[in-house]
Chain A
Amino acid sequence: MTQELTPKIELHRVGWPPRHRPVSRWSISRWQITLATLFVICCGVTAPSWSQEARTWTNASGKFSVEATIKELKRDSVVLILADGTERTVALDQLSEADRRYAADYRKTMLAENAAKKKAAAESKQRGEDLKDELQSILDSFNQREEQLKQSGTDAAQIRNARQPLVQETSQQLLKLVEAVPQSEVARDVYIWVVRNGAQGTEAATAIEALVQHFADSPEILPFIGLIARDLAMLEKLQSKAKDKAVKGVATFMLARQLSSADNPALEERVLKLLNEVISKYADVSDSARRPLGPQAERLLFAVENLSIGKVAPDIIGSDLDGVAFKLSDYRGKVVVLDFWGDW
């Protein structure tokens, strides 16, 4: 079929549609684009691979045609992307017979691909389930060998040293076991095992990264955020990904704490923003030690604003060990070492 002028230009040339008539579905209004975009955002389905190439779409009368790829097929219309990147929604009953057949094929393929995806996800989950026995046997073997170590070891340090290679070896086995199903529950249990048992190096990094990647929303990772927080980049990723209120709250607080520890004035604004977010949204969330974040964030906020290098120290009004009242500010004009100490 010969490529004709796009409908848009055609419209201008022949003045179609006439203004007194209802606007044809070939013309495109801002609200249609908006609606289409909204629809795609909410329910968008990726086009099957075979449909990615541009083809010529023609209307039922054969008068108008346009080169476009299909973006999305709805119940009674199709969203097209034109060569210039603009989108256009066209009612199916306005299309030529051939286009309607194409749309029908497209729908069939799309449904099949979606079903395949669902099936793959279910299978992945199932495969994860199938791994449970194998997981248990690896763990049993670990426990058995750990027990032997405890029996044969002479002191705690020696047992610890001998245990580490065992943890690394077991971590390797476990990670390999769930490699193909990184999003399954079994995989999550593996990552947590690896982290909890103090694996180091590649194994620990792999497990932490996978937890952040796939389980940022899983409350099960709460006790391990402290470990994740050792790697600032991972903590930042977790903080931005998490939607679970507890995970998000704890990660936000930890990120603020981590960033504030450098006492870097350039980071102060960001730290204050994070802390205010904790105070306004996550005050009632508790950390892994069951302490609510609100008061902790308030204290840290005070510290950042008043106890950073370069700030005037807050006054202390109290009594000495003999019960005599005095103030820290009594010592203005002197260099002061303020030493929080205890005899223990």
Chain B
Amino acid sequence: MYPHERSLVKQLSDKPFALIGVNSDRELEQIRATVKEKNLNWRSFWNGPEGTGGPISAQWNVTGWPTIYILDEHGVIRYKNARGADMDKALTKLLSEMGHSVQIAHEAEGDQ
């Protein structure tokens, strides 16, 4: 997961795109260290000390991790749980709706 996400954030850095996480780790210090160590280049809300039982995942009725929503520029939910190549395709489509033509290709990178 991490390499794909890192690669997306990097490739689409000059496009109207953002990857926003909702992190459900209980230990804030620990996840901060992980972010640094694994070079996770996206911003995340913290779901609080209750971890997966935290308020954001509860409101969003998340019962499995990871859960992914893809929103268009108007904040409308357009895709759910599109991952990997499906996510790339979805983003290509939504960005093209905004007049941005993108080609997403990922370099091989070992998971860390």
Binding site for B on A (CB under 8 A): 263, 299-300, 302-303, 307-314, 316, 318-322, 326, 328-329, 331-344
Contacts and interface: CB of A to CB of B under 8 A. Distances in A.
B17 A334 contact: yes
B62 to A, nearest CB: 5
Interface in B13-30: 15-25, 28
A318 B44 CA distance: 10
Minimum-distance CB pairs A-B, first 6: A303-B61, A318-B45, A340-B67, A334-B16, A342-B24, A336-B71
A313 B24 contact: no
B2 to A, nearest CB: 9
A308 B77 CA distance: 7
30 contacts: A263-B80, A299-B61, A307-B61, A310-B76, A310-B78, A312-B74, A318-B56, A320-B43, A320-B44, A321-B23, A321-B31, A321-B44, A322-B32, A333-B16, A335-B72, A336-B17, A336-B18, A336-B75, A337-B17, A337-B18, A337-B20, A339-B42, A339-B66, A340-B21, A340-B56, A340-B68, A342-B23, A343-B23, A343-B25, A343-B31
Interface residues on B, range: 35 or more
A338 B90 CA distance: 13
B70 A338 contact: yes
B23 A341 contact: yes
B27 to A, nearest CB: 10
A158 to B, nearest CB: 30
B61 A302 contact: yes
Contact of B25 (A308, A328, A338, A342): A342
Interface in B37-83: 42-46, 51-52, 56-62, 65-80
Given A303-B60, A340-B65, 7 more contacts: A307-B77, A313-B69, A313-B75, A321-B28, A334-B73, A337-B70, A342-B66
Contacts of B42: 339
Specify which of A302, A334, A335, A339 lies most central, judged by the most chain B CB atoms within 10 Å of its CB. A335
Contacts of B108: none
Contacts of A314: 59-60
B52 A339 contact: no
Specify which of A311, A326, A328, A334 lies most central, judged by the most chain B CB atoms within 10 Å of its CB. A334
Contacts of A341: 1, 21-24, 44, 65-66
Nearest to B51: A342
A336 B20 contact: yes
B32 A321 contact: yes
A340 B24 CA distance: 7
A300 B21 CA distance: 22
A328 B22 CA distance: 10
A329 B78 CA distance: 16
B25 A320 contact: no
Specify which of B16, B51, B71 lies most central, judged by the most chain A CB atoms within 10 Å of its CB. B71
Contacts of B24: 340-342
A331 B18 contact: yes
Contacts of B21: 338-341
